[in-house]
Structure 1
Amino acid sequence: MTIRAPSVSRPHEPALAGRHDGGERYRVAGGGLSVVELQRGDTLEVVDIEGLQPAELLAVHAGDGRCALAALGLQADARATFIADSLGRPTQHNYKIAAILSRRELDVRRAQAAVLWPPGTAAGHACTMTASEPVVVFVAAPGRPGTPEEIGQQATELQLVVRRAHPPSAHQPQESVPLADPLDDFLIHPGTARAYTVRAGEYVQILDVAGRQCTDFVAFDLAALEHGDMLDLDPTVTRTLNGSAWPAPGLFSRFYDRNMRPMLEVVRDTAGRHDSFSLACTARYYESQGYPGHANCSDNISAALAHFGVPARPGWPAINFFFNTSIDARQQITIDEPWSRPGDYVLLRAQRDLVCVSTSCPDDIDPANGWNPTDIQVRTYSSKERISVSMAIRSTPDAPAVLTQESGFHSRTSVLTHHFTQYRGWWLPSQFDGYGAIDEYYGCRERAAIMDLSALRKFDIIGPDAEALLQYCLTRDVRRLAVGQVVYSAMCYPHGGILDDGTLLRFGPDNFRWICGEDYAGIWLREQAEKLGMKVWVKSASAQIHNIAVQGPHSRAILQQIVWTPGTQPTLASLGWFRFLVGRIGGYDGLPVCISRTGYTGELGYEIWCHPDHAAAVWDSVWSAGEPHGLVPLGFDALDMLRVEAGLAFSGHEFSDEIDPFEAGIGFCVPLKTKSDDFIGREALLRRSAHPQRKLVGLELAGNEPAAHGDCVHTGRAQTGVVTSATRSPITGRNVALCRLDVAYAEPGTVVQIGKLDGQQKRIDATVVAPIFYDPEKSRVRS
């Protein structure tokens, strides 16, 4: 008999690395600075993630603000002026730093900084130092405003890793900087609850101190309570008014009472996964699990509300912040460890005077609190504060959270609409007031439209091995790409699934720009370069290059009026399809831009790439020139109709990491027969292309009932496909869809059925057609 050793759980948990190894990770944005405090013996590592990024460090004694570079083994450098200049700027980020300095009574205006390394650093280069005494440290990633054609010159982020000589306990509160001056600030220990009053317009910030800790939240209308009316958050009304299934991971934007009046607005969320309105944990739950007498949130909430005359309940419907639930295939509620990291928070704004209760959940018998209940912190802020609405995204599970950003064009688009959607970490308009999706659609098809697409990710790939890296990582034959040319390509995993798609611009023999949708694309490129030992840098440029699309049959006439190009560049009028130029808007001394003849609408069109500092002026110039031509603003709702009609693929719809380019309808960008160099996914794509299982087709629906993304497609009883995108085509008057269909039924003219309800009880006939419903010959976009 074989004697087995004990089985040990060792899950991969990259998001918890900072919590387990004693290391704290901080982000220094390109062109920005961050501050950390070190005690004697603490080690600080500064990492140049992407390479070629300068770094400055300023250190002062924690007690009196005197220069403390010597405590880190550094010397002052007269060239290091970026930190001093930055601290003098009145920004929201600097407000937080000023708050830290104020609490420490420190004045750093006369302190000198050090330069951490010479120019030319490789990706991953690091500088490590150990503090010989307590110090406050500022680290900056210096940068200057650039222009779109300055490949690789943009400032990129640094990473700070702090390893403490005496790591704090997971139970010890992690200090976080308030968002403003708090009205109230208190801790709630595990197994307890606290009631508090919040006035209309005031903010409530609920923080997970140590990470992976749930907190239940209930609220009552204060004025109603004073009249004996128990008017609290209503889960059914909230779910119904938000048009959402229950329960769903995440948060509703607003929470309502039974009278359908809003009580709370969600302003910020850095965790991204919560449970709205499951019951707070109850005595009965613990009793059923064999733990009678266990502390529970429902009883704690009842006790906290007793002072206000609210009758006790055995179970309280609550917003369960940081609680990780899901619905499995059997429609059962399941739970797992929370996603929240130390310092994650939710920020709410009261819509009227409220009595609120927050708990720190005592659950230690299942994964709900990571098996280890810890503290919750609550702060409230004045209604006079103005805190931006945002959510957090992370490019990888262990990356620092980045709040939703506004593009350089936001000052112009926000005047035209209040309808914004959060798209990949950016606020972009969904539709415009006074226009609407249909009007915007026809404006683009018949005249011209302007749209903010700054959420696209941009990466500059530079160095002698830049072409070789891209030839290996993209499906296109990059060696055939000429300077001034653009090419559309897929980026695949080794198994053939699509990591991302995008366009590649070639600025010179060793200078490229990859424009795509995923932050991870840059990480992937750097990883491949490191594996191959290539001399190449992959530099993030998304923060320094924002862009608009100008699309429609009048787009050329509009831009011809305002675009100047030097003699070495093509004119706007002569710019060919999938080519770009480097020029200026407004003449020889005008605003520097790149303009590519590309788009996502199926119409003649261009994209304008500029520095965010110039974005408002670029918008104004295009808007002014376009008004006589009937230029309209274009939002995401109209763009979706345009791109579906044109048969253009969208991530998460037509393709994913399970779908190869042939199944996604973009097999034209995989030249297996002519590209002689090896590339990632080649062998898998050869196998998949030889034995295709599914194909992207178009469907024209009978009648006026629409299809939707995710609808099943049937041939007889069997499901043979799935709808990837659908819309009502304004120009054809038909409901159309893109569909990934079994190749046995993909012949044009085949009749299939789109399943509604359960897919069997209701069907809509649809005819298979080519997956391009508008201008299949692309005569308009080529015109």
Structure 2
Amino acid sequence: MNIAASVLPLTRPRVIQPGLDRWDPQVETYRVPGLGALVLRLQGGDRLTITDREGRQPAELAVFTVATPGSNDPARADFAALDLKPGAESAGIARLLAGDIADADGPDQVAEWRRQLRRWNLPGGIDRVARVLEGDTRAGEAVTFTAGRDAVVVIHAPGAPMAPAEQSPATDLGVTLQRHAANPAPLPELPAPLGDIVAEFRVDRCTALSYEVKEGQFIQVIDVAGRQCSDFVAFDARQLQRGKERGIDMTTTRTMLGSIYPGPGLASKFFDMDMQALTEVIRDTCGRHDTFGLACTSRFYEDAGYPGHPSCSENFNNALERFGLDRRRGWQAVNLFYNTGISATNAIFLDDPWSRPGDYVLMRALKDLVCGSSACPDDIDATNAWNPTDIHVRIYDAKHSFSKAMAFRMTPDAEPRLTRETGFHPRISALTRNFTEYRGFWLPNRFNNAGPTAEYWACREAAAVMDLSPLRKFEVLGADAEDLLQIACTRNIRKLSDGQVVYTAMCYPHGGMVDDGTVFRLGPDRYRWIGGDEFGGKWLRDLAEQRGLKQVWVKSATDQLHNIALQGPKSRDILKEIIWTPPARPRVDEIQWFHFTVGRIGDFNGIAVVVSRTGYSGELGYEIFCHPKDAPAVWDAIWEAGRPHGLEPLGLEALDILRIEAGLIFAHYEFNDQTDPYEAGIGFTVAAKGNEEFVGREAVLRRKENPRQQLVGLEIDAKQAVGHGDCVHVGRAQVGIVTSGCISPILGKNIALCRMDVAYAAIGTEVEVGKIDGHQKRLPARVVRFPFYDPEKLKPRS
């Protein structure tokens, strides 16, 4: 017998990690935001590739000689270094140089761009640029240049502020820089400083260090190479001088915040055992950390069979000894970039870390602090992806004011974008400080003095105004635009008239929902998709490519179109006083339900707006779209006109009650990628008759004929709150799950939306909502018709 022949060939399993690639020292990738810019230092032989990510987005390049940083020698134009010829003046770069940042990717990014200009002694005005990627470029089209010699290049994504009825947003460019020579550095270059650095330290792999921070200063902990954990400890320096150790205490922090994972924002603080706040989280670009465990200990490694292995706790013992802190076997710490969680069986588990090279957490010291930071030495499991690397710490001056933000990524391999403020934020922030992060933007939970109950009643009885700017807007343009939307949407888009809006769903091939949203038809071959998920634009572009639709462009317009909703029985009376429309356009009081008009605030010379008769409240209502730079003035006009009618601002808490009463669905509550439109309660959006094709049609109709679950309404005969995830039972068996619930002020009832097994979905069926473990406590309930409020939708139709 041939033993060798009987041995199966060794095969390696495949693991797909689109967002967790290791650092390549020769490849750098960047994003140039629409209307923004990027400055890069090139060396001879480097290959620069610029990609038009969405199509129809030109790029402008200005090339200069390399001046010595800090010298007085100005850089000179050197287009020949990239074999380019200068052309026209760049209005966009001139606008950025002048400090007009309203249309760029936020003030922090623009400040960094201008720092880079100063660093390389570039001129204060760039009067000539070379333009590439002009014309009807396709999504993904690219150009590549090879640097003939060392140079500094400025790359700009030009455009102009987009009026709400226009469909020409400036969109992102992608930049890839392939270095001719491998970077000799063993680790990636650090991200640019956020401001004036007071001090900075490198925490070498498998070590820890201690440092002091003054009250008000900022601490930035940077993961240099990615997927590396860092424990952070902090003690009140004044208390240490008095002989008292008062450091970050996890039990106190969890109790004060009411959550396991503190996030950035006004309430995101770490407390000591005396309930005194020591640090405040300002920014977090990773989003996954452990805040309930100890720093790794010697005992952990010993019990795993590695006696003598270095640990963060022992490293802290050595690093903090100079401040008189007692040694201990385990230190309570904030475990930054440590991907742990709690399982359904209440056990702590860990997995590969999420952090990427350059990810950071920025904290503000609320007292004089003694701090410690480690570069975790764990190489026996996935904690540091089996390969410990360095951590870098920077201290910034207290004079700075950094925006509070988390990182938002559309896909795992996308560049992070920090949480943004909407165009209406200057007005809204004057009325409340209670904000929450919502899909990359800050939105108000509730407002001062009134609160969610009063906000709710204002909407039901008079009028309320809410910020819905985070809704994602995409311009769908070209001869194939209608065909693309017909394929992507469950509605029959071909029936849509100019000036009409339709509510629809988009589905995956298996019938699960991608998103729900509205389609506006602005004219022949011109549409606008407005949904909740930024992935919707990528889905449409990918679908166009798969189906060979060459004459369609899907352009992101969220940053050019912000919107508020004016909802309530008095909304028409308020708007008709302030919206001027051309004679050929419908007046506000003439717009029918799910139609829109184009107009201006005040008169012919006023601010351009698009007004649609749509909403998310179950009341008569409108949405007003404008450019972000005009948002404060639009808010002021509506606010002034609305106050005599009882207008109030409305936050997310009140909005949730309104939409549940009206039976309106919400992503990741009533629907997800496992739920088809019928199961989500919006089967009316499916064009089931005829032969019109849409993605997932066969699967959706098959699931309709053989349904397993149905969205139903519940009335609960108890006052205890019922919410998302509560189980619903008949006897011992679970037959459903609550998707959303609230106490209805206008009905005086405890109501909920529930995804129910079809065997128990009939109106009048008696069920029970489970509490505690689902069995020890039950709330009697019955299936009722929904929408609970105005089931015939007479209010929004009025």
> TM-score, length-normalised on structure 2?
0.95
Q: Unmatched 5+ residue regions in structure 1? A: none
Q: Is the 8 A contact 2:89 2:127 kept in 1?
A: no
- Match for residue 104 of structure 2? none
After superposition, the Cα gap between the structure-2 partners of 1:229 and 1:167, relative to the gap in structure 1 and judged at 3 Å, is same
Give 2:316's aligned residue: 301
**Partner amino acid, structure 2, of 1:313:** R
Whole-angstrom CA distance in 2 between matches of 1:23 and 1:17: 12
1:658-705 Cα deviation digits (max 9, x unpaired): 11111110111002124x221100110111000011000011010211
Match for residue 724 of structure 1 among 712, 715, 739: 739
User: Residues 37-48 of structure 1 correspond to what in structure 2 (within 5 A)?
Assistant: 37-48=41-52
SS at match of 1:216: strand
Between 56-65 and 452-461, report the one with greater CA deviation. 56-65
Q: Is the 8 A contact 1:18 1:24 kept in 2?
A: no
Residue of structure 1 in register with 2:489 after alignment: 474
Give the drift of 1:271: 0.6
Q: Does residue 424 in structure 1 map to residue 428 in structure 2?
A: no
Aligned position for 2:93: 83
Separation (CA, whole Å) in 2 of partners of 1:170 and 1:738? 56
Which residue among 174, 189, 193 is the counterpart of 1:159?
Answer: 174
1:68, distance to aligned residue in structure 2 (A): 2.6
Q: Is the 8 A contact 1:710 1:722 kept in 2?
A: yes
SS across alignment from 1:766: strand
| Further displaced range: 642-651 or 70-79 | 70-79
In structure 2, C-alpha distance between the alignment counterparts of 1:642 and 1:37, rounded to whole Å: 53
Which residue pairs with 1:581 in the alignment? 597
Matches for 1:6-405 after TM superposition, within 5 Å = 6-17=10-21, 19-20=23-24, 22-63=26-67, 65-89=75-99, 91-107=107-123, 109=125, 112-151=128-167, 153-168=168-183, 171-245=186-260, 253-405=268-420
Whole-Å separation in 2 of the counterparts to 1:35 and 1:552: 49
Check 1:326–1:248 CA distance in 2 against 1; reply closer, same or farther (3 A cut).
farther
Q: Residues 224-251 of structure 1, C-alpha deviation per residue, up to 9 Å, x if partnerless?
A: 1001101011111111111124x78999
Q: Deviations over 1:359-390 (max 9, x none)?
A: 11111221111121111110111111011001
| Distance of 1:39 and 1:465 partners within structure 2 | 43
Higher mean C-alpha displacement, 354-363 vs 158-167: 158-167
Q: State the match for 2:473 in structure 1.
A: 458
CA contact (8 A) 1:204 1:379 kept: yes
Assess if the C-alpha contact under 8 Å between 2:213 and 2:370 holds in 1. Answer: yes
- Contact persistence 2:212–2:369 (CA under 8 A): yes
Further displaced range: 122-131 or 551-560? 122-131
Q: 2:647, 2:222 → 1: CA distance?
A: 46
The range that moved more, 189-198 or 460-469, is 189-198
Whichever residue aligns with residue 326 of structure 1, its letter is G
Answer yes or no: is the 8 Å Cα contact 1:471–1:479 preserved in 2: yes
**Deviations along 1:18-48, whole A, 9 cap, x unmatched?**
7359432211111111122222222111111
Amino acid across the alignment from 2:706: H
Equivalent residue in structure 2 for 1:649, among 665, 679, 683: 665
Contact (CA 8 Å) 2:25, 2:183: kept in 1 or not? no
- Determine if the alignment matches structure 1 residue 762 to structure 2 residue 777: yes
State the distance in 2 between where 1:595 and 1:18 align: 47
The 1:176/1:336 distance shift into structure 2, 3 A limit, reads same
Partners of 2:262 and 2:268 within 8 A in 1: no
Deviates most, 590-599 or 292-301: 292-301
Structure 2: stretches of 5+ with no match in the other structure: 69-74, 101-106
Change (3 A) 1:205 1:125: same
CA distance in 1, matches of 2:171, 2:182: 30
CA distance in 1, matches of 2:307, 2:151: 50
Q: 1:548 & 1:160 partners in 2: Cα distance?
A: 34
Q: Once the two structures are superposed, what CA deviation does each residue of 1:47-68 show, in whole Å capped at 9, x if it has no partner? A: 1111111210112222352223
Greater mean deviation of Cα atoms: 282-291 or 703-712: 282-291
Deviation at 1:137, TM superposition (A): 1.8
Matched residue type, 1:63: A
Match of 1:634 among 634, 650, 657: 650
What secondary structure does 2:794 align onto?
A: coil
Q: Are 1:67 and 1:111, in contact at CA under 8 Å, matched by a contact in 2?
A: no
Q: Distance in 1 between matches of 2:181 and 2:25?
A: 12
In structure 2, which of residues 566, 576, 580 is the aligned counterpart of residue 550 of structure 1? 566
Are the equivalent residues in 2 in contact too, given 1:392–1:401 (CA < 8 A)? Answer: yes
Taking only the aligned residue pairs, the percentage that are identical comes to: 52
Residue range with higher mean Cα deviation, 209-218 or 284-293: 284-293
From 426, 440, 462, give the equivalent of 1:447: 462
Q: CA deviation at 1:202?
A: 1.0
Aligned to 1:665: 681
With over 3 angstroms needed to count, the CA separation of the structure-2 counterparts of 1:781 and 1:654, relative to structure 1, is: same
Does the alignment pair 1:698 with 2:713? Answer: yes
Residues 580, 604 of structure 2: 8 Å contact kept? yes
Letter of the 1:236 partner, please give it: T
How far did 1:283 drift? 1.3
1:173 and 1:680 mapped to 2: Cα distance? Answer: 42
Tell me the secondary structure at the aligned position of residue 207 of structure 1.
Answer: strand
Q: Distance in 2 between matches of 1:209 and 1:745?
A: 55
- 158-167 or 689-698, larger mean C-alpha shift: 158-167
Separation (CA, whole Å) in 1 of partners of 2:156 and 2:632: 27
* Letter matched to residue 95 of structure 1: A
CA separation of 1:8/1:168 partners in 2, compared to 1, >3 Å: closer, same or farther?
A: farther
Alpha-carbon distance in 2 for matches of 1:587, 1:179: 43
For the 8 Å contact 2:264–2:405, the answer to whether it is kept is no
Give the drift of 1:92.
3.6
Of 271-280 and 621-630, the range deviating more from structure 2: 271-280
Aligned to 1:502: 517
Comparing 224-233 and 136-145, the one that deviates more: 136-145
Amino acid at match of 1:763: R
Q: Partners in 2 of 1:361 and 1:179 — Cα distance?
A: 25
Q: Does structure 1 residue 528 correspond to structure 2 residue 543?
A: yes
Q: 8 Å contact 2:62–2:126 — kept in the other structure?
A: no
Question: How far apart are the structure 1 equivalents of 2:184 and 2:360?
Answer: 20
Measure, in 2, the Cα distance between the counterparts of 1:61 and 1:93. Answer: 24
Alignment CA distance shift 1:212-1:595 (3 Å): same
Q: Using the alignment, how far apart are the partners of 2:336 and 2:670 within structure 1?
A: 33
* Code of the aligned partner of 2:372: V
Does residue 608 in structure 1 map to residue 624 in structure 2? Answer: yes
1:183 is matched by which residue type in structure 2? V
| CA deviations over 1:136-163 (Å, ceiling 9, x no partner) | 2211111111211112x11111111112
Letter in 1 for 2:16: H
Q: Structure 1 residue 171: deviation in Å? A: 3.4
Say whether residues 1:741 and 2:756 are aligned partners. yes
2:635: which partner in 1?
A: 619
1:362 and 1:62, CA in 2 relative to 1: closer, same or farther beyond 3 A?
farther
C-alpha distance in 2 between matches for 1:248 and 1:439? 29
Distance 2:334 2:233 in 1: 7
Whether contact under 8 Å (2:59, 2:134) holds in the other structure is no
Distance in 1 separating the partners of 2:757 and 2:409: 35
In the alignment, is the contact (CA less than 8 A) between 1:602 and 1:646 conserved in 2? yes
Residue-by-residue CA offset, 1:686-738 (whole Å, 9 max, x unaligned): 11000011000011010211211100000100000000000010111111100
Q: 1:250·1:272 contact (CA, 8 Å) conserved in 2?
A: no
